[in-house]
Structure 1
Amino acid sequence: MGNRLSKIYTKTGDDGTTGLGDGTRVAKDSARVAAYGTVDEANSAIGVLLATPLPGPQGEAIATLLTTIQHQLFDLGGELCIPGHAAIQESDVEALERHLDAFNDPLPPLKDFILPGGGEAAARCHLARTIVRRAERETVTLARHDAVRAEAIRYLNRLSDLLFVLARVLARESGHGEVLWKHERRK
């Protein structure tokens, strides 16, 4: 295992730079730091989701899946923090797709847009979804001028889709139901 943090503050970032996993220093507002920082934020949002009881008979399976995803997000953060490092594999993307299909297939087809809500767990899941979408956008921004593996972007894309479906499942299993956007409310 690598170095352990024994001292939390180093003062090396006081000049507005931070060290990447390979030792190079970059500005704290660089595209790379924004991308892996938002992946970390998404991981934290999933942690907040996991801190609330997940309703229904699928709650335990969802919690187990989200814990696996947290580990993968930590791996992805490392991949983005160390230029040239590979951590997320195509098999990880495919696993998300399998889970996405399994949770989505029993749901009724969408006929309206859904607002974030549907109970505490579903609302937290929607928040995590939007943070993952931002992480995806920031990773795409990074990829415009630096090497980013396609698997990283695909993983974030599928994960946001999965979180949307999980929010639907959690809203239904909580008894709150999905909050539909009322597009005709102003007429």
Structure 2
Amino acid sequence: MSVYTKTGDKGQTSLFDNKRVDKDDLRVESYGTIDELNSWLGLSKNFVEDSEIFNLIHHIQRRLFDVGAELATEDESKRPVMIKEEEVTFLEEEIDKYIERIKKPDHFIIPGAGKISAILHVARTVCRRAERRIISLSKKTNINPHLIKYVNRLSDLLYVLSRCTEDDYEEVIFYRE
């Protein structure tokens, strides 16, 4: 099997259900941003020393394939998987567990206090972009509300994990003249 098919040479791609769409279609943007997020999480695992966090990130990466598959399938009857409320609850439980390890966030911090923390902050911002793309898509087509919640909670979890892995942090102080 060849890596290149030449079927996308004219700016189109196939969705999971074989429908052809433009490569800049909002659906492609949505699952493409989830793919980008998954890659950032893969990079982050190379710096994680805590096996529990490593395994959590790996678990999330597996779920992101489900999110991507759901977003990449326009025909609801052909969706291989759908995100469920239990998966949102799982993320909420993880947020609650890890937030106990950090000082309660009551201010902005400057990202970048350590390699893993910095990478997780990038992943968090990519997750937020994915959420914005999915919200835009939801204005044009029916999107599973659990999927939207999942991506929203995931960005919160990534924030908490980035804070847990920081060597130190610097609070943002707004300067007034």
TM-score normalised by structure 1 residue count: 0.89
Q: How does 1:9-158 map to 2 (within 5 A)?
A: 9-52=4-47, 54-55=48-49, 59-83=50-74, 84=76, 85=79, 86-158=81-153
**2:131 partner amino acid:** E
What is the Cα deviation at residue 111 of structure 1? 3.0
Check conservation: 2:101, 2:164, Cα contact below 8 A.
no
Answer yes or no: is 1:180 the counterpart of 2:175: no
What is the Cα deviation at residue 51 of structure 1? 1.5
Same amino acid, percent of matched pairs: 40
Secondary structure of residue in 1 paired with 2:102: coil
Secondary structure of residue in 1 paired with 2:165: helix
Q: 2:61 and 2:21 mapped to 1: Cα distance?
A: 26
Check conservation: 2:30, 2:133, Cα contact below 8 A.
yes
Aligned residues: 173
CA-to-aligned-CA distance 1:71-92 (integer Å, 9 cap, x gap): 0001110010012124211111
Secondary structure of residue in 2 paired with 1:117: coil
Structure 2 residue ranges without an equivalent (≥5): none
Secondary structure of residue in 1 paired with 2:8: coil
Q: 1:29 and 1:51 mapped to 2: Cα distance?
A: 31
**1:78 partner amino acid:** A
Equivalent residue for 1:170? 165
**1:81 partner amino acid:** A
Secondary structure of residue in 1 paired with 2:21: strand
What is the Cα deviation at residue 164 of structure 1? 0.2
Aligned CA-pair RMSD: 1.2
CA-to-aligned-CA distance 1:39-95 (integer Å, 9 cap, x gap): 00000000111112x24xxx1110000000000001110010012124211111100
Secondary structure of residue in 1 paired with 2:174: coil
Q: 1:178 and 1:169 mapped to 2: Cα distance?
A: 11
TM-score normalised by structure 2 residue count: 0.93
What is the Cα deviation at residue 102 of structure 1? 0.4
Q: 2:105 and 2:130 mapped to 1: Cα distance?
A: 25
